[in-house]
């Protein structure tokens, strides 16, 4: 009797334990309903182009020309492409070692990494070394690579904010490490308290866990808060005291919707703090072409920058990168263009500014529309989306609803979100997918649906919510807070 | 109207070689020693005493990082390549500083970096999908072929909102998977299910996904051919498993013997290893053999009987250079034996990086997963979803590779000419280099029936072996090092791929352009003569 090759029991436990709610139960249900013909509004993932945001014109022109360099020989190419796009395509092709179809240096095309370093230098006021910048197929691959480098076993803990973007919890589980949560305080605008951090670390250590790294997501996902400079200083000091490497997820650095707290990079603050902290705290910073006003998720382009990592360790990280040969070259060009966009005087400059501003200003407006729309519901409290792409309202659920959820075998926010989906077609991700305090319920939605659709979406939500509350409320009281 | 790639592109590429040299790093040391890769069972190092060591050392330091990272090796971009890049920089800065005026990279299967041109039709479609705004313009008709425009429209209609910048379904765009499934069916004569296909950023991430799924601890073993493409050894090490080697038989053209498989399986079992899967690379890398169909049937039967997952690396399926052999997918072979989903668990890997298209930089590929239960497939989907999706342009390219222009299409003739030109040139280069190697004293070289490499065996004289030991280098690395310093030619030492103990090889690609091959042959011949004169016993 031949043996069965592989059964569910015998696969890697870590794979089985891994969860990734962004494309989990709600998304799968929404996809089913969509197949049945229901109109679904997918607000489960930060995927701007899927909701109608148009790609910026200039980068698409440049990459198309790089893709088909024979166009550059054609005398009529100028009829379809502006001269600066043509020049830029030639520039990037000259930086590659054989065009888009050749593996590049495993760290990314050196000339493009130089452009990234120059961007970082302009942004922060401190020079950045291209040798310490590695391009990756999306920031997620970089995050996974770093976590795999850090985690030796379940005795290694990684500090992760709660709520968090579940790439972190998924990767930590996959690599067999331990997630050490630190709670962001909703009533203090999702702020971070260093005393809480200390407590989380102490608790972990008492369980025999060695805390190795701390993740910050700035601007936050799903919470949207922008960290203040003071907060960043506290965090860096904390990492110095506790010997933690700081993983700075800064993929939303272009998405800022208020003026009180502009984006400041962790690296800038680190270097501002001077020695010994500036020379000793280890920092990995992540960025991407998927977010900002570019929204080029499908290209899979990103990078990580290393600060204060010893050369031999950089070599080991390089070695692992080389096993995958190289990141995809078209996305590297998108990255180059993102850090080095058209300048004043360039033919495409005005169009570029118009398109970018249009997107950013609209996102800012949509952040408000959504926050206000949620807050107009009596059982919903929603912090303003200061940055990133999401709204993370707290839904206060009455006890009867919680009981109904239990009976249906669902976590309360999953129950609520499924009902929301069935009633309105709005596909969100339940807060439990991101982590939240015990007894509290949230959902995450994006602020990405088209501006003209927003009022109707918020109305639709409100209608559903009010009916839900009618059904389950009996004036005895709400869930905690 | 469409133009074939012209002189300006060559100029741009020349510029790119020059420009690229300026940025090459010389400062950072590289990672790999040239000692032979060890394939003994991997006992993962026990976790260091974390509390004391990590207070002394920063979190990211050699003493504190994941030991599996330290353990894995990847020679294709290893030490010899770093040295080559340094020499290249020196040549740039001080022309004449070496006895050669260019580095000839024969280390990596990266055709377009050595002047191979992309397939025009594919690039037309990709450019249009990258910038769909021009599809409506009349000028576009003058710059692109009509069937490329049509195909772009077709593909865009399969993408929600025609948004090529959006994350897709985590297995890849459904319409593209349909096209790939149809292509698989046309190739094999057996149906393929689009839901079995997972589009990935190249075949390598798909291999990693399977290793992650299969390996629970160092007690889990994966049977790998020796010599192998070192992605497998590296991936197994990274995931904490054990590589169980099976030796290909050089004397019989790198034949795969079932008895050898059985022997290695039993030996592993006796050591307490639970062997989970068998990797077969067909056509082989670095060895180039195309597995005979009868042999394939034996392999399928073996996996079925022993309950092993068959991991079929078929990325070189379009690189077959000998009339007496043909590529048959393991899926086709299994189905032709009457084995279906319930009989054999099979994962087939394909890529856009090889074949005649050579689109390495695009990172496109897929795995076709058959014979797994629904709950396992859910797990595979879940892992794929954490990364959201693979790059869309690579997905589109994978679908083009699996459904190229057909007879009657406007672009068919030129596509065919480009394709045949590349494949026949590869076949010629394979033969020329094989003959060249066989003409050298002490070197024997099996024919490259397929893939992109030659893996000649060198019988090194004792004197050379001792000289290598004296500088603490593996003998094959010693030879490759000397060769590089004397001629600028970059081969990868056989130790990077594994070889029967006591034998020495190196891997050479067949990819330098045809006009460079005579220079390679003459420089190599002169060097080898000098080397043997120096070290002959």
Q: Are residues B245 and B373 in the same domain?
A: yes
* pLDDT, greater one: B174 or B54: B174
Is the predicted pLDDT of residue B32 greater than 80, yes or no? Answer: no
Task: Give the residue from B357, B374, B401 where a domain finishes.
Answer: B401
**Model pLDDT, residue B78:** 82
Q: Are residues B312 and B446 in the same domain?
A: no
Alpha carbons B300 and B312: distance in angstroms, whole number: 11
Q: How confident is the model at residue B396 (pLDDT cuts 50, 70, 90)?
A: very high
The answer to which of A151-155, A311-315, A360-364, B13-17 has the lowest mean pLDDT is B13-17
**Model pLDDT, residue A241:** 96
Question: Mind listing the pLDDT tens digit for each residue in B366-386?
Answer: 999 999 999 999 999 999 999
Is the predicted pLDDT of residue B34 greater than 50, yes or no? Answer: no
Chain A 264-283, residues with CB within 8 Å of chain B CB atoms: 280, 282
Alpha carbons B317 and B355: distance in angstroms, whole number: 7
Q: How confident is the model at residue A23 (pLDDT cuts 50, 70, 90)?
A: confident
Residue B98: CB atoms within 10 A of its CB come to 18
Q: Are residues B380 and B272 in the same domain?
A: yes
Q: In what order do the strands lie in the sheet with A156-162?
A: A133-136, A302-307, A283-288, A245-249, A210-217, A156-162, A178-183
Q: For the domain that residue B276 is a member of, what is the CATH number? A: 3.40.640.10
Is residue A78 less than 8 Å (CB to CB) from chain B?
A: no
Question: Mind listing the pLDDT tens digit for each residue in A278-291?
Answer: 999 999 999 999 99
Query: Has residue B511 been placed in a domain?
Result: yes
Q: What is the average per-residue pLDDT within B111-140?
A: 96
Contact A152, B63 (CB under 8 A): no
Query: Has residue B55 been placed in a domain?
Result: no
Is residue A210 less than 8 Å (CB to CB) from chain B?
A: yes
Query: Has residue B282 been placed in a domain?
Result: yes
Query: Has residue B62 been placed in a domain?
Result: no
Q: Cα B206 to the chain's mean position, in Å?
A: 13
Number of folded domains that form chain B:
3
Q: For the domain that residue B80 is a member of, what is the CATH number? A: 3.90.1150.10
Q: How confident is the model at residue A479 (pLDDT cuts 50, 70, 90)?
A: low
Q: How confident is the model at residue B337 (pLDDT cuts 50, 70, 90)?
A: very high
State how far the alpha carbon of B75 is from the alpha carbons of B84, B351, B497, in Å.
Answer: 13, 21, 8
**Model pLDDT, residue A21:** 82
- How many CA atoms are closer than 13 Å to the CA of B122, on its beta-carbon side? 28
Q: How confident is the model at residue B404 (pLDDT cuts 50, 70, 90)?
A: very high
Q: What is the average per-residue pLDDT within B8-12?
A: 44
Question: Mind listing the pLDDT tens digit for each residue in A64-88?
Answer: 999 999 999 999 999 999 999 999 9
DSSP class per residue in B22-71 = HH---SS------SPPP-S--PPPPPP-HHHHHHHS-SSSTTTS-HHHHH
Give burial (CB, 10 Å; 0-12/13-18/19+) of B459: exposed
Contact B29 A64 (CB under 8 A): no
Q: What is the average per-residue pLDDT within B141-156?
A: 96
Contact A68 B127 (CB under 8 A): yes
Q: What are phi and psi of A165, to 5 degrees?
A: -80, 120
Is residue A94 less than 8 Å (CB to CB) from chain B?
A: yes
Q: Are residues B378 and B454 in the same domain?
A: no
Q: Are residues B222 and B138 in the same domain?
A: no
B1, B45, B66: which to substitute to probe chain A, counting the most A Cβ within 10 Å? B66
Question: Mind listing the pLDDT tens digit for each residue in B37-51?
Answer: 333 333 333 333 333
Q: Are residues B343 and B457 in the same domain?
A: no
How far does B262 lie from chain A, in Å, by closest CA? 15
ipTM of the complex: 0.95
Q: For the domain that residue B154 is a member of, what is the CATH number? A: 1.10.287.1970
The C-alpha angle A160, A161, A163, rounded to 5 degrees, equals 125
- How many CA atoms are closer than 13 Å to the CA of B334, on its beta-carbon side? 26
Is the predicted pLDDT of residue A410 greater than 90, yes or no? Answer: yes
Query: Has residue B63 been placed in a domain?
Result: no
Residue A152: CB atoms within 10 A of its CB come to 24
Mean per-residue pLDDT of chain A: 95
Q: What is the average per-residue pLDDT within A232-259?
A: 97
Which residue, A386, A14, A251, A272, is CA-closest to B214?
A14
Alpha carbons B62 and B64: distance in angstroms, whole number: 6
Query: Has residue B412 been placed in a domain?
Result: no
**Model pLDDT, residue A399:** 95
Q: How confident is the model at residue A355 (pLDDT cuts 50, 70, 90)?
A: very high
Is the predicted pLDDT of residue A41 greater than 90, yes or no? Answer: yes
Contact B484, B82 (CB under 8 A): no
Which residue, A83, A34, A36, is CA-closest to A58?
A83
Alpha carbons B241 and B214: distance in angstroms, whole number: 9
Q: How confident is the model at residue A24 (pLDDT cuts 50, 70, 90)?
A: confident
DSSP class per residue in A364-412 = HHHHHHHHHHHHTSTTEE-----BTTEE--EEPPPHHHHHHHHHTTS-H
Query: Has residue B60 been placed in a domain?
Result: no
Q: What is the average per-residue pLDDT within B283-291?
A: 97
Q: Are residues B211 and B343 in the same domain?
A: yes
Is residue A167 less than 8 Å (CB to CB) from chain B?
A: yes
Residue B73: CB atoms within 10 A of its CB come to 20
DSSP class per residue in B310-333 = EEEE-TTTT-B--TT-----HHHH
Q: Are residues B178 and B160 in the same domain?
A: no
Contact A12 B212 (CB under 8 A): yes
Question: Mind listing the pLDDT tens digit for each residue in B64-110?
Answer: 999 999 999 888 888 899 999 999 999 999 999 999 999 999 999 99
Mean per-residue pLDDT of chain B: 90
B266 Cβ neighbours under 8 A, 6+ residues apart = none
Please report the domains of chain A, with CATH numbers, ordered by start residue: 13-39+354-472 (3.90.1150.10), 93-339 (3.40.640.10)
Alpha carbons A228 and A10: distance in angstroms, whole number: 47
Q: What are phi and psi of B477, to 5 degrees?
A: -70, -40
Q: Are residues B289 and B382 in the same domain?
A: yes
Question: Mind listing the pLDDT tens digit for each residue in B299-331?
Answer: 999 999 999 999 999 999 999 999 999 999 999
b/e code B331-342 from CB counts within 10 Å (16+ = b):
bbbbbbeebeee
**Model pLDDT, residue B54:** 41
Q: Are residues B177 and B285 in the same domain?
A: yes
Q: Cα A465 to the chain's mean position, in Å?
A: 28
Alpha carbons B90 and B77: distance in angstroms, whole number: 19
Alpha carbons B238 and B222: distance in angstroms, whole number: 13
Query: Has residue B375 been placed in a domain?
Result: yes
Contact A243 B114 (CB under 8 A): no
Contact A164, A217 (CB under 8 A): yes
DSSP class per residue in A107-175 = T--HHHHHHHHHHHHHHHSS---GGGEEEESSHHHHHHHHHHHH--STTEEEEEEES--THHHHHHHHT
Question: Mind listing the pLDDT tens digit for each residue in A425-452?
Answer: 999 999 999 999 999 999 999 999 999 9
Q: How confident is the model at residue B10 (pLDDT cuts 50, 70, 90)?
A: very low
A68, A115, A131, A168: which to substitute to probe chain B, counting the most B Cβ within 10 Å? A68
Contact B398, B199 (CB under 8 A): yes
Q: Are residues B455 and B326 in the same domain?
A: no
Q: Are residues B308 and B183 in the same domain?
A: yes
Domain that includes residue B378, residue range: 167-401
DSSP class per residue in B357-422 = T--GGG--EEEEEES--HHHHHHHHHHHHHT----HHHHHHHHHHHS---TTSTTHHHHHHHHHHH
Contact B308, B330 (CB under 8 A): no
Which residue, B435, B415, B423, B461, is CA-closest to B517?
B435
């Amino acid at each position: 009797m031949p043996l069965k090759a592989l059964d569910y029991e015998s696969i890697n436990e870590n794979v089985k334990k891994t969860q990734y709610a962004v494309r989990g139960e709600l998304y799968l249900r929404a996809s089913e309903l969509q197949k049945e013909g229901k109109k679904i509004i997918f607000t489960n993932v930060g995927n701007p182009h899927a909701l109608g945001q148009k790609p910026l014109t200039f980068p698409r022109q440049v990459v198309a020309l790089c893709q088909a360099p024979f166009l550059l020989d054609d005398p009529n190419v100028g009829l379809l492409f502006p001269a600066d796009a043509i020049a830029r395509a030639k520039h990037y092709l000259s930086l590659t070692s054989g065009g888009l179809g050749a593996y590049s240096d495993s760290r990314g095309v050196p000339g493009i990494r130089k452009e990234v370093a120059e961007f970082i230098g302009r942004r922060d006021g401190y020079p950045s070394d291209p040798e310490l910048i590695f391009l990756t197929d999306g920031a997620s691959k970089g995050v996974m690579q770093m976590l795999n480098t850090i985690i030796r076993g379940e005795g290694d803990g990684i500090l992760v904010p709660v709520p968090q973007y579940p790439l972190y919890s998924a990767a930590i589980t996959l690599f067999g490490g331990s997630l050490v949560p630190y709670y962001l305080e909703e009533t203090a605008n999702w702020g971070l308290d260093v005393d809480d951090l200390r407590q989380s670390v102490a608790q972990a250590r008492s369980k025999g866990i060695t805390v190795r790294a701390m993740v910050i997501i700035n601007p936050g996902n799903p919470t949207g808060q922008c960290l203040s400079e003071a907060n960043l200083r506290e965090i860096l000091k904390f990492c110095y005291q506790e010997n933690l490497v700081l993983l700075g997820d800064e993929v939303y650095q272009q998405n800022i919707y208020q003026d009180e707290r502009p984006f400041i990079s962790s690296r800038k603050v680190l270097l501002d703090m001077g020695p010994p902290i500036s020379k000793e705290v280890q920092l990995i910073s992540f960025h991407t072409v998927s977010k900002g006003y570019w929204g080029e998720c499908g290209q899979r382009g990103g990078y990580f920058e290393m600060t204060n990592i010893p050369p031999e360790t950089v070599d080991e990280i390089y070695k692992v990168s080389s096993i995958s040969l190289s990141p995809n070259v078209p996305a590297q060009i998108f990255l180059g263009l993102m850090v080095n966009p058209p300048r004043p005087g360039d033919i495409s400059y005005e169009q570029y500014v118009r398109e970018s501003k249009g997107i950013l200003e609209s996102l800012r407006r949509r952040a408000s529309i959504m926050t206000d729309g949620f807050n107009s519901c009596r059982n919903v409290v929603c912090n303003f989306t200061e940055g990133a792409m999401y709204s993370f309202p707290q839904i206060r659920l009455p006890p009867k609803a919680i009981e109904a959820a239990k009976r249906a075998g669902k976590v309360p926010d999953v129950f609520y979100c499924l009902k929301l989906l069935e009633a309105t077609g709005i596909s969100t991700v339940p807060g439990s997918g991101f982590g939240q305090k015990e007894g509290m319920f949230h959902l995450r939605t994006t602020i990405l649906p088209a501006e003209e659709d927003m009022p109707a979406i918020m109305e639709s939500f409100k209608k559903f919510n009010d009916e839900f509350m009618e059904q389950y409320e009996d004036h005895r009281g709400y869930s905690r807070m | 109207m469409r133009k074939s790639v012209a002189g300006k592109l060559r100029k741009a590429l020349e510029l790119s070689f020059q420009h690229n040299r300026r940025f090459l790093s010389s400062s950072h040391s590289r990672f790999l020693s040239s000692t032979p890769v060890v394939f003994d069972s991997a006992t993962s190092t026990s976790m260091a005493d974390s509390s004391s060591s990590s207070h002394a050392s920063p979190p990211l330091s050699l003493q504190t990082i994941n030991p599996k990272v330290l353990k894995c090796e990847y020679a294709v971009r290893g030490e010899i390549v770093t040295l080559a890049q340094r020499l290249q920089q020196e040549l740039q800065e001080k022309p004449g500083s070496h006895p050669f005026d260019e580095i000839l990279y024969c280390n990596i299967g990266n055709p377009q970096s050595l002047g191979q041109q992309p397939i025009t039709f594919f690039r037309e479609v990709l450019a249009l999908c990258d910038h769909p705004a021009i599809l409506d313009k009349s000028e576009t008709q003058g710059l692109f072929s009509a069937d490329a425009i049509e195909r772009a429209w077709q593909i865009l209609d399969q993408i929600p909102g025609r948004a090529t910048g959006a994350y897709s379904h985590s297995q890849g765009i459904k319409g593209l998977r349909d096209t790939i499934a149809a292509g698989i069916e046309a190739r094999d004569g057996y149906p393929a299910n689009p839901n079995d296909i997972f589009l990935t950023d190249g075949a390598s991430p798909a291999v990693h996904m399977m290793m992650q799924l299969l390996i629970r601890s160092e007690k889990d073993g994966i049977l790998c051919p020796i010599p192998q493409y070192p992605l497998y050894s590296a991936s197994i090490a990274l995931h904490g498993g054990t590589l169980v080697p099976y030796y290909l038989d050089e004397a019989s053209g790198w034949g795969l013997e079932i008895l050898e498989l059985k022997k290695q399986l039993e030996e592993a079992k006796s050591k307490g290893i639970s062997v989970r899967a068998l990797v077969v690379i067909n056509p082989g890398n670095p060895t180039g053999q195309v597995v005979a169909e009868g042999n394939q049937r034996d392999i399928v039967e073996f996996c079925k009987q022993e309950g092993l997952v068959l991991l079929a690396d078929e990325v070189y399926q379009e690189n077959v250079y000998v009339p007496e052999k043909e590529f048959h997918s393991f899926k086709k072979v299994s189905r032709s034996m009457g084995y279906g989903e319930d009989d054999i668990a099979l994962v087939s890997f394909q890529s856009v990086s090889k074949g005649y298209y050579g689109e390495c930089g695009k990172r496109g590929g897929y795995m076709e997963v058959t014979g797994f239960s629904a709950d396992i497939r859910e797990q595979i989907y879940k892992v794929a979803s954490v990364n959201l999706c693979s790059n869309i342009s690579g997905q589109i390219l994978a679908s083009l590779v699996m459904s190229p222009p057909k007879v009657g299409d406007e672009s068919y003739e030129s596509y065919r000419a480009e394709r045949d030109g590349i494949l026949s040139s590869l076949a010629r280069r394979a033969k020329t280099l094989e003959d060249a190697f066989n003409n050298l004293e002490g070197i024997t070289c099996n024919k490259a029936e397929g893939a992109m490499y030659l893996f000649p065996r060198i019988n090194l004289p004792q004197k050379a072996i001792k000289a290598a030991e004296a500088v603490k280098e593996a003998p094959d690395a010693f030879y490759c090092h000397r060769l590089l310093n004397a001629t600028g030619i970059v081969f990868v030492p056989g130790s990077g791929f594994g070889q029967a103990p006591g034998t020495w090889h190196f891997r050479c690609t067949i990819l330098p352009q045809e006009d460079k091959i005579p220079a390679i042959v003459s420089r190599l011949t002169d060097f080898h003569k000098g080397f043997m004169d120096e070290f002959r016993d």
